[in-house]
Structure 1
Amino acid sequence: MSLFSRRRLSAIIFAALFFFLFLSFRSLNSRDLSSTYSYPATDGSQQIGTGDSGYWARYIPHYPPSSLRPLPRGKPSALPKVQTTFKTESPTDREVRLKRQAAVKDVFLRCWDSYRSKAWLSDELSPITGQKRGHFGGWGATLVDSLDTLWIMGLRREFEEAVTAAATISFKTTNLNEISVFETNIRYLGGFLSAYDLSGDRRLLQKAKEVGDMLYVAFDTPNRMPVTRWDIHGSARHQMQMADAHVLLAEIGSFSLEFIRLSLVTNDPKWFDAVQRITELLHDQQNSTQLPGMWPVIVNARNEKFGDHYDYTLGAMADSAYEYLPKTYALMGGLLPEYKEMYEVSMNTAIQHNIFRPLVPDSKDILISGTASVRGKDDEHHVRLRPEGQHLGCFTGGMLALGGKLVQNQTHVETGAKLTDGCVWAYKVSPLGIMPETFYTVPCESKEHCPWDENKWMDGVLEISGLGSNNANGNNGVTRDDVQAFIKKKNIPKGFTYVPDGRYILRPEAIESVFILYRITGRKDLLESAWDMFTAIEENTRTELASSALADVMVEKNPPKSDSMESFWFGETLKYFYLVFGETDALSLDEWVFNTEAHPLKRLLPA
């Protein structure tokens, strides 16, 4: 062989060896997009990549973690029992309960059939016009959110059809310029994981991993904090990114259930590592915020400062960050004790500063969760309560009841029961039997004793209404008759002082807490309350096609509809109504934990 030929052969062998090593390196890193991404047009409505279902898994990060926190090892603990032992029900009670459950299922099927025929694989169906909507990436949010509900309701044929369709969803494309990482996590990742845990269908595990790989790219920042409103197209172009300086607490603090469960079922610690970085910051800064024990609604993910803002609430913008503390502790069978610690500390602060007893006509011993605002600096901090009840905040009753059972704190259980009763009360006193999105009330000076005072209530209406001075003698020309006329005009029930947002958007939080509290206590009155809530919702939201959100529930009849039906109607609201009337051993709270989108995930249990 000539020298030239030998050199050429050596060059070929060397090139082949180099190529093999290069491929091996890529396989080890498994996140290379350099040869697959394409540049999207400016409207953000096109495909953002090509290749197989492992598209996002091949992304090469700009800021890879130097090491990964390993999944916790050891045997999960036998945590305290959550569910009560139910007594044998009479044949009559059973018949009534099952008829009610069947009624819930009928509503689900009517809405599902309309979605299937008019908006299949779209995010939402507009329940009046029958149009399609794509607010959540255009990846079939209603379809994915409904998978576990279909399974739970025993709709196996519909479930198989939905899984087959869901398996075709491409997470390389979106019609949005950016996506909410939070919403994608709780709806899509949670939906796939739950349906997999229930059915064992590995197609669902594959889709969960695809979503998880996509979301993991949002964590590719210098400090590994996620970009919560994520430019997915920029990442497809391999652009560098960094976390935002103003991030909602709920949007950064609500990954633990889904990410840890995904790491468990795939035995890949990368998602656990990603969420633990956030957890460690929350844990380290919990007692150094302006309201020690809680975190504010806005945090700085870029600078990793989680305590500078002044509003603290268990409601909107913070909610699920607190909800996930006891639930993650339960999910991991006690192997992550920091979640228990953070839950106990935060709830003790919330009970002191956020949770209050409202002034109500029958002096009923109920509670509402409001917002605490901190003003002043250093030793001159002043905490002021904003007594605003939120439908979104109604999850707190279930959270405290569940958390109290898990950590054996009876005060938390009783507080959770009173918070749930507060939301049931808000449903009952509202004109249509449906609680509005938000309302204000008069906070009692004491949680132990609060007799009804009509004048004090009217003073509260006057103070917040803007009619004039809070004075019974009618300063600024305002009299008691003026206040009564205002109450009548606005249709304000006794106990409410003002309703800034009268919508009902098919929310699940109240029935969620009713379900959890029923499983914990066995209180039969909760079944009656659940039925009253369901019938009021069904009667007023029903359309020819499905069920619609309402623009105003503070009217006496014929509430205006807003032609909206979010996916959580299928994934949460109807699921909780179905379960509360179902068999009490179905999805036991001692074996399952529900994410904030009502997707049940298997708890780690001792062998």
Structure 2
Amino acid sequence: MGWLIPITAALAGQKGKDYDYTGFDSNQTRRTEAVVEMFRFAWSGYYTYAFPNDDLQPVNNSFANTRNGWGATAIDALSTAVIMQQTDIVNQILDFVPTIDFTKTGEGTRPGALADVSLFETTIRYIGGLLSGYDLLKGPFEHLDVDEDKVEALLKQCIVLADALKFAFNTTTGIPINNIFIHNQTFAQRYRIPDGTWSAGLAELGTLVLEWQHLSDLSGNAEYGELAQKAMNYFLKPSEEVWPGLTGGNFSVETGKILDAYGGWTSGNDSAYEYLIKMYAYDPEKYGLYKDRFTAAADSTIAHLLSSPSSRPDLTVASSFAGQAPQNYSEQLACFIGGSFILGSTVLSKPDYLTAGLDFAEFCANGYRYAPSGIGPVIYSWNTTELAWPQFANQSSFYENSGWFIDDNGAFGGGLTPEAVESWYYAYQVTGNQYWRDVAWALTLAQNRTERVGSGFSSIRNVLSEDGGGWTNRMQSFFLAEVLKYQYLIQAPEELKGEWDVEYAPDGVGQGGNVNPWIYNTEAHPFKVRAKTPV
């Protein structure tokens, strides 16, 4: 257990790449084994105390059902277990999948009421997890000792689930209602906007097409992809734009028109932009418009939204926007932007996207580096007007060193969120720079020091407290699906990786030889691309 070296307080207060990581264990095999151990520990806690429910509550060895009661952690963990070749866990999940009844849900948060289903969350976790497991076990991991009939059940069950969900698209425009009751095929009324009409968030309508199209391609039923594509067209050909490629974040389900001018690469919008470049990589002959829209969004971001904190001009980040007024604000959820720009740089041969992507990845690395817990904040603000307000005065000196502060006194917690490590994964893949491995390893150490509790891992309550300030008592499924998968792929020696490793360079060189025969959905589930020649 020597890899569980406490991350030192000296990690905070170091600027950018000047930090010396040589005191960390630099043995990549040991690092990889450490990540696998974390995965097995998290799975064991879930399987012992929570399975077949959705989430482990590790502090008191209990469980919660937040994702329909279908075993979200099990389905989300499958592709990671396959890639790590943890065959015993793979078989536990494969045994479970055929037993799920995707036409029924458990109780919701209101007593006596059935849970409403999020189309977005169910798509990225369940449909994504089932399809990815199928692709991997029918492809590069077909050598694993598993029951072939249960591999086939992954696709069969995915079709059952999609058929239970597809009524969500039965609207005047084809833009789906996100929150639905599948037992009686109705919409969750409490999500209507005040005037009685329906709206859909950009991420909700824009983060379906990769999964639903891939289901069409595997099943031979074109309907699934067509439903998602019809909805996506309202983003691809928007009623109005703030700048080319960048739109407001809420769409009218009745008309398809955009209802506001607020947005950015932040929550509620984020993964719709992510899927533009990923759909092009998935099939460049079919999705050329997606490339054009990504290019427009990326170019507008570079032209209008790049920002540097006043105290740290060495850092660069993309701000959010309200109309054409950039806001000195971003989020941990937006930390994926580095990876999207880096992927775009290789797919489209755009060096300026690589520069921006690495800058964005470094901004979030800086966030984790300066937080005393080693866990990045939910909110990044560099709005000095707000910083002058009395309630934030105690963060002034911190801002001078870090370049960010938290502008919400109720938002000091830190999640098991994957977006930053996702960008570090792309940064390492493209550059081959050990620095990004070391940044990711620092997070691994911090997670074991502050988030490892009881039978698993939990979000912490205060990122500005060195010990994390306690736990929220929930291990979200994306910790196994995303965080630990990306950590594994960053640290693993090349002999443990293969074609599923996005931007895999056969010659071992970062830039120049990269192709993408697989693409990862927003929940880090890899799909085999349809491109005749991967880009």
Please give the TM-score of this superposition, normalised by the length of structure 1: 0.73
Contact 1:492-1:499 within 8 A present in 2 as well: no
The answer for the alignment partner of 1:435 in structure 2 is 376
Query: Given the alignment of the two structures, is residue 299 of structure 1 paired with residue 251 of structure 2, yes or no?
Result: yes
* Secondary structure at 1:218 match in 2: helix
Q: CA 1:244/1:168 → structure 2, altered by over 3 Å: closer, same or farther?
A: farther
CA distance in 2, matches of 1:189, 1:328: 16
Partner amino acid, structure 1, of 2:251: V
Partner amino acid, structure 2, of 1:373: A
Contact 1:197-1:602 within 8 A present in 2 as well: yes
Contact 1:138-1:174 within 8 A present in 2 as well: yes
Q: 1:118 aligns with which of 49, 62, 65?
A: 49
The answer for the alignment partner of 2:403 in structure 1 is 495
Contact 1:549-1:562 within 8 A present in 2 as well: yes
* Secondary structure at 1:538 match in 2: helix
CA distance in 2, matches of 1:413, 1:337: 21
* Secondary structure at 2:330 match in 1: strand
- Of the two, which has the highest radius of gyration? 1
The answer for the alignment partner of 2:39 in structure 1 is 108
Q: 1:596 aligns with which of 522, 526, 535?
A: 522
The answer for the alignment partner of 2:477 in structure 1 is 567
The answer for the alignment partner of 2:16 in structure 1 is none
* Secondary structure at 2:322 match in 1: strand
CA distance in 2, matches of 1:213, 1:332: 24
Q: CA 1:100/1:125 → structure 2, altered by over 3 Å: closer, same or farther?
A: same
Query: Given the alignment of the two structures, is residue 415 of structure 1 paired with residue 356 of structure 2, yes or no?
Result: yes
The answer for the alignment partner of 1:370 in structure 2 is 319
Q: Which runs of 5+ in 1 are unaligned?
A: 1-92, 375-382, 443-459, 469-481
The answer for the alignment partner of 1:186 in structure 2 is 124
The answer for the alignment partner of 2:507 in structure 1 is none
The Cα of 1:327 is off from its aligned counterpart by 0.3
* Secondary structure at 2:237 match in 1: helix
Contact 1:291-1:312 within 8 A present in 2 as well: no
Give the CA RMSD over aligned residues.
Answer: 2.5
Farther-moved stretch of structure 1 (559-568 vs 349-358): 349-358
Q: CA 1:267/1:541 → structure 2, altered by over 3 Å: closer, same or farther?
A: same
Farther-moved stretch of structure 1 (550-559 vs 117-126): 550-559
Q: CA 1:333/1:386 → structure 2, altered by over 3 Å: closer, same or farther?
A: same
CA distance in 1, matches of 2:225, 2:25: 43
Q: CA 1:493/1:538 → structure 2, altered by over 3 Å: closer, same or farther?
A: farther
Q: CA 1:160/1:338 → structure 2, altered by over 3 Å: closer, same or farther?
A: same
Residue by residue, what CA displacement relative to the aligned partner does 1:520-575 show, whole Å, maximum 9, x if unpaired? 11111111111111111221001121111111111133522110111001111111
Contact 1:126-1:133 within 8 A present in 2 as well: yes
Q: CA 1:219/1:504 → structure 2, altered by over 3 Å: closer, same or farther?
A: same
CA distance in 1, matches of 2:77, 2:422: 16
Residue by residue, what CA displacement relative to the aligned partner does 1:421-451 show, whole Å, maximum 9, x if unpaired? 1111111111122211102115xxxxxxxxx
Contact 2:165-2:182 within 8 A present in 1 as well: no
Residues 103-502 of structure 1: matches in 2 within 5 Å?
Answer: 103-175=34-106, 176=108, 177-200=115-138, 201-235=151-185, 245-285=198-238, 288-306=240-258, 308-361=259-312, 363-364=313-314, 366-374=315-323, 383-441=324-382, 460=384, 463-467=386-390, 483=393, 487=396, 493-500=401-408, 501-502=411-412
Number of equivalent positions: 468
Contact 1:119-1:125 within 8 A present in 2 as well: yes
CA distance in 1, matches of 2:38, 2:273: 32
CA distance in 1, matches of 2:136, 2:252: 37
Q: CA 1:236/1:345 → structure 2, altered by over 3 Å: closer, same or farther?
A: closer
Q: CA 1:136/1:463 → structure 2, altered by over 3 Å: closer, same or farther?
A: closer
CA distance in 1, matches of 2:493, 2:53: 32
The Cα of 1:414 is off from its aligned counterpart by 1.0
Contact 1:430-1:493 within 8 A present in 2 as well: no
Partner amino acid, structure 2, of 1:217: F
Partner amino acid, structure 1, of 2:319: G
CA distance in 2, matches of 1:94, 1:213: 49
The Cα of 1:171 is off from its aligned counterpart by 0.7
Contact 2:428-2:490 within 8 A present in 1 as well: yes
The Cα of 1:494 is off from its aligned counterpart by 3.6
The Cα of 1:359 is off from its aligned counterpart by 3.2
Q: Which runs of 5+ in 2 are unaligned?
A: 1-23, 109-114, 139-150, 503-515
Q: CA 1:110/1:486 → structure 2, altered by over 3 Å: closer, same or farther?
A: closer
The Cα of 1:353 is off from its aligned counterpart by 2.7
CA distance in 1, matches of 2:440, 2:404: 22
The Cα of 1:405 is off from its aligned counterpart by 1.4
CA distance in 2, matches of 1:165, 1:299: 38
CA distance in 2, matches of 1:395, 1:441: 19
The Cα of 1:234 is off from its aligned counterpart by 3.2
The answer for the alignment partner of 1:15 in structure 2 is none
Contact 1:492-1:498 within 8 A present in 2 as well: no
CA distance in 2, matches of 1:510, 1:532: 12
Q: CA 1:285/1:131 → structure 2, altered by over 3 Å: closer, same or farther?
A: same
CA distance in 2, matches of 1:159, 1:138: 20
Contact 1:141-1:187 within 8 A present in 2 as well: yes
Contact 2:25-2:31 within 8 A present in 1 as well: no
Contact 2:41-2:455 within 8 A present in 1 as well: yes
Partner amino acid, structure 1, of 2:501: S
Partner amino acid, structure 2, of 1:337: G
CA distance in 2, matches of 1:492, 1:187: 39
Contact 2:377-2:406 within 8 A present in 1 as well: no
Residue by residue, what CA displacement relative to the aligned partner does 1:288-347 show, whole Å, maximum 9, x if unpaired? 3244421212111221113x3021211110000000000011111432111101111111
The Cα of 1:189 is off from its aligned counterpart by 0.1
Farther-moved stretch of structure 1 (144-153 vs 331-340): 331-340
Q: CA 1:142/1:463 → structure 2, altered by over 3 Å: closer, same or farther?
A: closer
The Cα of 1:491 is off from its aligned counterpart by 9.0
Q: Percent identity?
A: 27
* Secondary structure at 2:415 match in 1: coil
Please give the TM-score of this superposition, normalised by the length of structure 2: 0.83
